[in-house]
Amino acid sequence: MPTFQTSPGMRDILPPESARWRRLHNIFADTVEAAGYGQVMTPLIEDIGVFTRIGDATDVVTKEMYDFHDKGDRHVSLRPELTASVCRAFAEHRPITPWKVWYAGPNFRYEKPQRGRFRQFDQVGVEVLGVDDADLDVEVIALAWEFYRALGLQQVNLIVNSLGEPEDRQAYVDALRSHFEAVGDGLTEQSRVTLAKNPLRVLDSKREPDAEHIASAPTIADFHSAEAAAHFAKVQAGLDALGIPFTVEPKLVRGLDYYRRTIFEFQGLTLDSAQNALGGGGRYDGLVEALGGPATAGIGFALGVDRTLLACDDEGVFESAPRVLDAFVVDVTGGAAAVELTAELRSAGLAADRGFENRSMKAQMKLANRSGATHAVIIGADELADGTAIVKPMSRDAGDQQTIPRSDVVAHLQQKTER
């Protein structure tokens, strides 16, 4: 028989690790819902055109798309990110603005798998459409910061930059092009290819021969219009006011083409530099229009869940903790008593599991131990006959076992577990 494994860059997340993922999603949801964001759920598959709006000079679009023709011969793709999908949804449904939404879920990019870089990876994020105010940039950045704090992460750097207004950006791109063209063969071949498509992207190169030419390249701040400079100054003042430490990184451009004005990235200091972006985002005024909607200001971020959890592992915070069971029912009288008692415990809000297949007392007690339950509730022949059950604390220092009427088991455990 053939055997199968997950495809490269894809992973199974098994319990108890999966419970940690859900806790992370819950913490994120709590953080952003407390700030007025509602969850948006968009399909995993969209028309390829939705994603080509991300920018045809980005690797995400040119090399990494999981695209195919469906049975109706539509050219579609698995989503490589959610911002374009959210803007497509906005253009389609025209909700009232400000539209503040959050999301969580998998994305797909055909990248070279390595630690912290997967082909299926999970993101949590927010997008806000219809608000052109630097205070919102501050709110959005602060939410991500608060989320990292809630997980217990400390070794996170926030870097920010502004790409200016579209005209500033264009003037800067032209200046960069002239600068890098003058360098000629001094750039690596890959960067020369990138230069032809989008000079900004050359700044992303981590290849050694490119480093000195990137260092001597012009910086965007010199091209900021008064309006863009004022917006960026207000963002920085807001972050200062909230006590959120940040560094202005004048060469930060981010890997997607839709950004204008404020951009930011969170770097995990414990991760390898090639994969140290825990999350990032920025303004993308213009993307909704590119997707057929009205001119709409937009800003948001996405945080990589896989990398965030790697950073948590490195820092020894937000550890995996399976849900503790309150009871494990051991019934060696055929199982009918366990059916009722387990259901009763569960409907009273207690977490309960049980043994099956009428296994021996020894085998079921082994399962009870392994389950991590705080108590075993045991029904043998005597207890069945008397209408009682033995409640046995599973940790040695939690007292002795007791035989009590079966009808008292729920109340007894509720008292013990304070549920």
Residues interacting with ligand HAM, by CB under 6 A? Answer: 81-83, 109, 111, 116-118, 121, 123, 125, 127, 255-256, 277-282, 284, 300-302, 304, 306-307
Residues 301 and 280 sit within 8 Å (Cβ to Cβ): yes
The total of other beta-carbon atoms located within 10 Å of residue 8's CB is: 10
> Rounded to the nearest whole angstrom, what is the least distance from the CB of residue 303 to ligand HAM in the complex?
6
Residue 319 counted as an annotated binding residue: no
Whether residue 258 is annotated as binding a ligand: the answer is: yes
| Residue 136 near residue 194 (C-beta atoms within 8 A) | no
* 306 or 326: CB nearest ligand HAM: 306
DSSP 354: E
284 is in an annotated binding site: no
Of 143, 278, 168, the C-alpha closest to 219 is 168
Gap between the Cα atoms of 192 and 181, Å rounded:
8
Of 311 and 350, CB closest to ligand HAM: 311
The answer to whether 6 is annotated as binding is no
109 is in an annotated binding site: yes
Residue 189, marked binder: no
**Considering beta carbons, is residue 77 or 83 the nearer one to ligand HAM?**
83
**Minimum CB distance to ligand HAM, residue 307 (Å):** 4
In the complex, the smallest distance separating the C-beta of residue 324 from ligand HAM, rounded to whole angstroms, is: 31
Short-list 333, 330, 378, CA closest to 355: 330
Taking the complex as a whole, how short is the minimal distance between the CB of residue 125 and ligand HAM, in angstroms?
A: 5
* Residue 123 marked in a binding site: yes
Which of residues 279 and 355 has its CB atom nearest to ligand HAM in the complex?
279
The answer to whether 46 and 72 have CB atoms below 8 angstroms apart is: no
Give the span between the Cα atoms of 146 and 31, in whole angstroms: 8
CB of 211 to ligand HAM, least distance (A): 22
Nearer to ligand HAM, 278 or 337 (CB): 278
Tokens of 197: 């498509």
The CB-of-143 to ligand HAM minimum distance in angstroms stands at 12
Q: b/e map of 50-79 (b: 16 or more CB within 10 Å)?
A: bbbbbbebbbbbeebbbbeeeeeeeebbbb
117 vs 359, which CB is nearer to ligand HAM?
117
Residue number of the CB atom closest to ligand HAM: 304
Give the rounded distance of the alpha carbon of 405 from its chain centre: 48
Residue pair 40/125 in contact (Cβ under 8 Å)? The answer is: no
Minimum Å distance from CB 39 to ligand HAM? 15
278: CB partners within 8 A, 6+ apart: 148, 156, 266, 267, 268, 271, 303, 304, 307, 308, 311
Flag whether 111 is marked binding: no
Residue 374 in marked binding region: no
Specify the residue, 120 or 236, whose C-beta has the smaller distance to ligand HAM. Answer: 120
341 burial type by CB count under 10 A (0-12 exposed, 13-18 middle, 19+ buried): buried
Binding residues for L-histidine: 81-83, 109, 123, 127, 254, 258-259
